[in-house]
């Protein structure tokens, strides 16, 4: 007898995946769109949707070769889902004829696609007949080749003329599962030994993170429920140590973590220091994630639902010694983990987010004591949200000094990464870090 997951027909999963793809096109995040899917479909649809988003550029280019006029959005989403899954031929996740049959069945059963079922059938049957020629005809299309919007590709070419191809290759890869050890409860050596005993293969990075050979459910990680370890990318693990440094190891520090949800960096700060931490998050729904993470780690912070850019609504007037600003951004550095982002974002978002980052930087800088330190970081590879933002800030704030820090971490698919000390091998998400110090008056 088949399990519930195995019994779910492919056409049903394709319809749900098309709904998720269409939602992202309408401005809904992939995470939120997948959460709307019935629970019995969710895991399968997430796997399909991730595959689609990593191949959507090629699918859209192929669709343009097959149609003279775009079909209605629901039918177009289903057509692009099928093409994303089928275009690679022998490497496709399903037999192509099965996939086409099930896509047509999905169209017939969909309320919004029933009228286009014959149209989809004709397009996909033609694709099967002419696949090699159609794929070859789209090879020169940059969006098809790199599976990113053209504006995104051009922005990377301008910002990183030597690394743009490596960045895009890394963005289309599968991210590893990386762990942060809670040094209050175990050591890197001891935890690595525990993993080996449970049959989980891992390697250490020069920065002290653990990278698993294969992802596992967090429940399989020794001590996870007791807070021994957290899942956090190696690039994100650089924030807390960079802010604290050796000079700031004191139990009397006042530390602020702005834009703190889901609480990974808040937890890391508390693991490394006995100083109290104030954690801000504007989204009340995400506050619960911070509390859940801190409870699991056995740590406490003062968590406030507040807008970091409006200190007058929450600040008590006492200056902070250290401030971590992990600012809202395009998330262009973490598209390997969230492949929907490239299709969710619009080019105009960069300027809007850069303005928001600027406002936060200036507002929080006033809350930092002379001699205090601030880490400004974004999970972005765009210069407007990193290097350019900080250079503009330094120009307008003569009391700010830029200390040695990582700069832009450029992911290169496991090769050497720009910005990492000593040119060490890495497998990081794309990030930007700047360590700022307020000059003494």
The residues annotated as belonging to the active site are 379
Eight-class DSSP state of 428: P
Eight-class DSSP state of 226: G
Rounded to whole angstroms, the Cα distance separating 162 from 417 reads 12
CA-nearest of 185, 190, 193, 279 to 224 is 185
Helix count (H) and strand count (E) of the chain? 18, 11
Cβ(273)–Cβ(184) below 8 Å: no
- Answer positive or negative: Cα dihedral of 166, 169, 171, 176: negative
Cβ(365)–Cβ(438) below 8 Å: yes
Q: Which helix (H) or strand (E) is 257 found in, with range? A: strand 255-258
What are the Cα distances from residue 416, in Å, to 157, 256, 386, 430? Answer: 19, 32, 20, 13
Rounded to whole angstroms, the Cα distance separating 407 from 388 reads 11
Backbone angles phi, psi at 408, to 5 degrees: -85, 125
Rounded to whole angstroms, the Cα distance separating 150 from 215 reads 32
Rounded to whole angstroms, the Cα distance separating 386 from 392 reads 10
Cβ(191)–Cβ(249) below 8 Å: no
225-259 residues labelled b (16+ CB within 10 A) or e (exposed): eebbbbebbbbbbbbbebbbeeebeeeebbbbbbb
Rounded to whole angstroms, the Cα distance separating 327 from 433 reads 11
Cβ(96)–Cβ(129) below 8 Å: no
Cβ(211)–Cβ(202) below 8 Å: yes
C-alpha 271, offset from chain centre: 24
How many other CB atoms are there within 10 angstroms of residue 283's CB atom? 10
């Amino acid at each position: 007898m088949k399990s519930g997951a195995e019994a779910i027909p492919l056409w049903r999963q394709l319809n749900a995946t098309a709904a998720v793809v269409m939602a992202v096109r309408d401005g809904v995040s992939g995470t939120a769109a997948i959460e709307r899917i019935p629970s019995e479909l969710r895991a399968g649809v997430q796997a399909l949707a991730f595959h689609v988003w990593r191949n959507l550029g090629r699918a859209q280019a192929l669709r343009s070769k097959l149609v003279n006029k775009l079909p209605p959005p629901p039918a177009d989403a289903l057509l692009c889902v099928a093409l994303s899954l089928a275009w690679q031929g022998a490497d496709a996740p399903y037999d192509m004829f099965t996939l086409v049959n099930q896509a047509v069945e999905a169209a017939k059963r969909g309320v919004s696609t029933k009228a286009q079922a014959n149209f989809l059938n004709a397009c996909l049957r033609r694709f099967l007949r002419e696949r090699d020629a159609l794929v070859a005809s789209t090879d020169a299309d940059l969006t098809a080749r790199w599976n990113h919007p053209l504006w995104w590709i051009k922005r990377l070419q301008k910002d990183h003329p030597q690394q743009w191809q490596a960045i895009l290759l890394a963005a289309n890869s599968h991210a590893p599962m990386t762990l942060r050890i809670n040094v209050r409860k175990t050591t890197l050596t001891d935890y690595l030994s525990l993993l080996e005993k449970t049959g989980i293969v891992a390697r250490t990075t020069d920065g002290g993170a653990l990278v698993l050979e294969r992802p596992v459910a967090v429940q399989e990680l020794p001590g996870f429920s007791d807070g021994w370890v957290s899942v956090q990318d190696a690039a994100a693990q650089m924030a807390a140590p960079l802010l604290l440094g050796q000079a700031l190891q004191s139990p009397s520090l006042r530390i602020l973590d702005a834009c703190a949800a889901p609480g990974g960096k808040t937890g890391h700060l508390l693991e490394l220091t006995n100083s109290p931490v104030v954690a801000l998050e504007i989204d009340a729904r995400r506050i619960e994630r911070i509390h859940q993470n801190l409870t699991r780690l056995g740590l406490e912070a003062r968590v406030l639902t507040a807008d970091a850019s409006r200190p007058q609504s929450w600040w008590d007037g006492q200056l902070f010694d250290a401030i971590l600003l992990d600012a809202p951004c395009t998330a262009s550095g973490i598209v390997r983990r969230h492949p929907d982002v490239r299709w969710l974002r619009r080019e105009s978002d960069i300027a809007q987010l850069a303005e928001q980052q600027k406002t936060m930087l200036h507002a929080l800088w006033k809350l930092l004591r002379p001699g205090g330190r601030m880490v400004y970081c974004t999970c972005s590879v765009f210069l407007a949200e990193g290097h350019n933002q900080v250079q503009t800030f330094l120009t307008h704030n003569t009391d700010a000094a830029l200390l040695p820090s990582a700069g832009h971490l450029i992911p290169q698919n496991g090769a050497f990464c720009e910005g990492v000390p000593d040119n060490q091998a890495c497998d990081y998400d794309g990030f930007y870090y700047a360590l700022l110090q307020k000059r003494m008056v």
